[in-house]
Every structure is written in structure tokens, then in C-alpha cells.
Chain A
Amino acid sequence: MQRSRFVAVGLAFLSVFTLSAELGAQARQEWVESARPVSDAVDLLVKECRCVISYEDPRWDKADLEDATDRVSTTKDAPLRIYVPKKTGFVFSYERPEKVDRPEDMAAAVTSVVDWHRNAGHRSDFKVQSTSDGVYVFPMKGSALDVRMSIAAQEGRTSDMLALFLADLKKVSGTGLTLGVVPWDHLSTTKAQISARNEPAREVLARLLSSAGRKVYWRLYYDYLLGYVLNLGMSDPPRCEGAVAVGTVCNSGDTDKAVLLQPGRQ
């Protein structure tokens, strides 16, 4: 049974791979397999477009999880079992836009990822929304960022504005977001604005991050124990690719767009 399924997946992969040759130079095909394959697929797109594409986990239920204690724990006698989303995979293809001037330009590619995932018959399903700040992938069945909120307009250090957002979200929804891996230096050296008038938290957060000047996306992961964990990443970081020697000029990404709080000690 397992073997026949493997063969079927392999055939599907091959058929898509064959199809890809007919899609033209801008077509891409990828295979992702992990606990969060849609998130990984989105990561691939971000690296290509250097644009903001955010992702939110569904609230996994028991059927979505597997016991990973033996794989994860470095302790033999872990007092608690560790459950993580089951590893799944899917192949997807998308048309790469020739130019990405606006986040909306990537919306079709992101939608294609979600469609391929849906057609592969997975339990979780996602939808895509695009705004001038970015493209957002979130679960069909609801997310922590669906709740509407209102906040008086304020400006300050980006980390302070983010803390304000998290506190207000918890107040209106009862759902707390744990801060995960975030770009500390960016948050502490830039300033941002926050304001909301009965708007979805997703749009408020997107606007907040965007107002600090740089392209910051989120990965909102759900953990059965912790609840939601908010991770932030930079879409267009500075980079030195290839062999780098002293004196090399590096690509500064979108760093110049940062709205700095003030130069010097923070």
C-alpha cells in the first residue's frame, strides 16, 4: 500500500516535471516536504522575489499531528510527549513574473502554490490575500489574525509598537502570540506607526511592519502547547554572495529604506 502510494507520488512528480518543460522559461516547479510544506513553498517564493509573503498556520487538530518525541528530544526520559505537524509534501508549479514591482505581482504565484496544495488532497486549506504591503497566506478555517481591532494612532520604536499590537490582540481576542525568532536589531533601531479602526489584525500588523520601511514578513506557527508563535523575517536583506574578500562591495538589499529611530546608541 505504502509502496503503491510512493509510486503514485513519483509518477505525479514526473508528470508535473514533464509538464514544466512546456510552461516556458518563466515556469518553475518545486517539491516541498516538511511539517509545514506551504510555509516552505512560500519561503522559496520570497527568496526569488525578495518581497513580503507572509504565512499563518492553521490551528492544527490531533489528526494533523504526530508524536515526534524520539526525533526531537535530546533527553531520553522526556516527561512530556512532543507533537508536531505531520510531515507532508506536494509538488507545485507557478509562473514567475518578469517584474515584481508590487506585492500583487506575486499573488498569482502564491495562489498557484495554495491551489497545488489543495489539489494534492491535504487536510489543511489556505487562502491568499494581497494588499499593497504584501501577500498573505492564511488558513481557510480561521487564524489568530482574523480578529478585528481598533488602536489609536501612535508612533514609536518598532519593538514597542509590536508589543502594543500583541497586547491589544490578546485583549480583544484572548489569543496571545508568543514572539519567536525576530530581527532584534531592526525592531530596536527603527520606528513604526500603528493605528487601526475596526480592521483585521493581519492588516494592522502588515501596516505596522511596513511603516518601519523594510520588507518584513511573518511566519505565524501554531504549536499545540504554546499556541501561536510569531516569527519575523526580512525579505530583502543585504548579502554578499559568492566568494567575499575584504574590499568587496555587497548588495545592501532594502536596508536603506529602514526608518531609523535615531542613529547611535539604542
Chain B
Amino acid sequence: MRPILWRLMAALVLVVGHSNVTQAQTGLYAGPNPFYRFDGIDITAWNFTNNEPTWCETWWGCYYTGYAFVDVGGSDGFYTWGENYDSPWVDAYGWDGTPGQTMQPATYWAHGYVHWTIWYCVLGCTEDYQYDDGGWQYTTVNPDPCFPFPEGESTALIQWGAQSIPGAFNLAGYWMSLQNPEPLSFSMAGRRIREVNAAWANPAYDTCWFDGSPFTQRYLLSGADGNPSSWSVQSGDQWGNDWLGWSDNAIFHYRYAYYRAPCGTLVPQIMTIQCGAADVVYSWTDLRLGFDWTSVWAERQGVFGQHTY
């Protein structure tokens, strides 16, 4: 059937008094940022030519099949008309239409060619008609790079002593689990975690240090002037190791050469997670690192560990 005839039929439907005419569209409708967690994505079909109301006032009694390289997660598996999916993720499909991996809305653009074959009915569905838009539509959507966003993290002290680092028997190795407010299928894996210095100024938290000490002050992250190491979030939204503590040399000499024990330092730490190209703050914590004459301790987010040394 030729397109001009469809329009005539659609006009007929309107004329006979049906209300709530839904605009049928061919193409992939994407909101300003459909992958933003609070947005939905609404796949609809519309008439590209003139946006005029088309063949069915509602899709009751009508159906269609759709075929696209993107589908909206959270759907019932069908390209059902008019569904508003409150869902932020996209299932990628290969060119042959087979499902691929779930695309995380963090690192790339979801885009696809959309080809709709719409079956519609008129006049009480006594007759089915098929409309093929005759070509590929294209749309580009920009996923929210911050989704999911951690609400914080829990901390676990895993081990003492970094085998891989010389003179680091007294470092405490922490692993963290990000608190993900979304369902398990929304992973943060692969995103970058960073520790960031809260200040450049010396807040004089290092009570071991003294003017003339051969060790530089410890009041910034992992070094005299702060160490902004980065990690990648692993499966289960975990990241680590975060090594905290004093070198064996520093402990030994502050104890036995300078008689400074007990002493320690406090390091304000800001945690960030990658959102696209940016690093966005999700948590604050204070690190407390110290020792006395017989033991060494570390504390991160209230998780305290102590061992004899």
C-alpha cells in the first residue's frame, strides 16, 4: 500500500471521532539525556515526513515490531508502543540484531540505526497493514557518565605489609567496596577511583616530624607532597589496594634515633570516581597512621587495625 493511502486512512480514523491520538513516529526518540537515571527513554515511532497523526489513535489492538541496534533495558523484551522506561542502561545489539553486552552509561555514546517495521490496523483491526519507513534512522544519545554514583564506601583491612614494596612491612592494605544504590546489574567496574588531597597547606598533623628530621612531613597522601594514585573499580564494585602507613625506616628511626614515639599523623582524604573525563567527589575520610614503641596502627573510615612491630 502506498504511503498516500495510509495517510488517508489515518485521517479517516481521526474523522470518525477517536480521541487521544498518539503521534506515531519512526525513529528513536531520545530525551535530553535518556540515560540519566531519573529519565526514561521513550521509543516511539513517528512519521518523519510531516509529523502528522497517523494510523492508530492508540496502539490498543495494534502492534508493531521494531528492530533497532539499541533497545531499552527494563522493557519486557518487546518494543511495545509508548512505554516509558525508567531505565538508564542500554542493551547493545550487533548489526545482525543479536544481543551484545550491556553498555555501561559511562564511557561511550549509545547510538544506532533504527529501522522500524510498523504493523498497524484501522477500522477495528479488520485489516493489517505494514509500514516500512524505508530506511535507517539514526540517533545519538549521551549516557550519564556518572551513573551509577556511589553513596559511599565500606572499608576492610586486608593485610599488613606490602610484599611488592621494599621496606613496607608496616603498610596496612585496605580494600574498599563502593556502596552502589542501583541494582546489581549496574556495575561501576572499570571506572577510575582517585584519592585527592584536601589541602596544600601543612596542617601540622604529623606529630613524628620535627624541624631537622631527615624524613619529610606526612600530612598529604602517600608522600611528602601527596600521592594521587588511581585505581580501577573491579568486579563487585571493589577497589584497592590502598596502602597506608609508615615505612619501616621511618618507624625505626623515629623510635630509636629521635625518641618520638608514640606519634602519628592524620591525612584528610577526598575520594573521587570517574564521571567521563572528570573526577567527582563521592566521599571524605580521615586517615590516621601512627605507632608507639611496640605496635603500628592505621585507621581508615573508622576501620582500625594494629599489629605488633
Residues of A near any B CB (own CB < 8 A)? 34-36, 43, 46-47, 68, 71-75, 78, 80, 82, 84-85, 87, 157, 159-160, 162-163, 178-189, 217, 219, 221-223, 225-226, 229, 231-235, 237-241, 244-250, 252-253, 255, 258, 260, 263-266
Contact = CB atoms under 8 A, between A and B. Distances in A.
A201 to B, nearest CB: 18
Contact of B226 (A87, A160, A237, A250): A237
B211 A183 contact: no
B183 to A, nearest CB: 22
Interface residues of B, number: 62
B241 to A, nearest CB: 6
Contacts of B280: 247-250
Interface of B: 162, 164-168, 171, 194-200, 210-218, 220-232, 234, 240-243, 245, 247, 249-250, 253, 257-261, 263, 270, 272, 275, 278-284
A184 B245 CA distance: 9
Residue among B212, B232, B250 with most chain A CB within 10 A: B212
A187 B226 CA distance: 13
B240 A233 contact: no
A66 to B, nearest CB: 8
B218 A181 contact: yes
Contacts of A221: 213-216
Given A182-B223, A250-B194, 10 more contacts: A74-B260, A78-B259, A82-B258, A84-B212, A181-B223, A188-B165, A238-B196, A249-B281, A263-B231, A265-B234
A231 B216 contact: yes
Contact of B215 (A186, A222, A229, A238): A229
A266 B241 CA distance: 7
A114 to B, nearest CB: 20
Contacts of B214: 178, 180, 221-223, 226, 229, 231
B176 to A, nearest CB: 13
B281 A34 contact: no
Nearest to B194: A238
A87 B198 CA distance: 30
B300 to A, nearest CB: 13
Contacts of B279: 238, 249-250, 252
Contacts of B258: 72-73, 82
A59 to B, nearest CB: 12
A43 B229 CA distance: 21
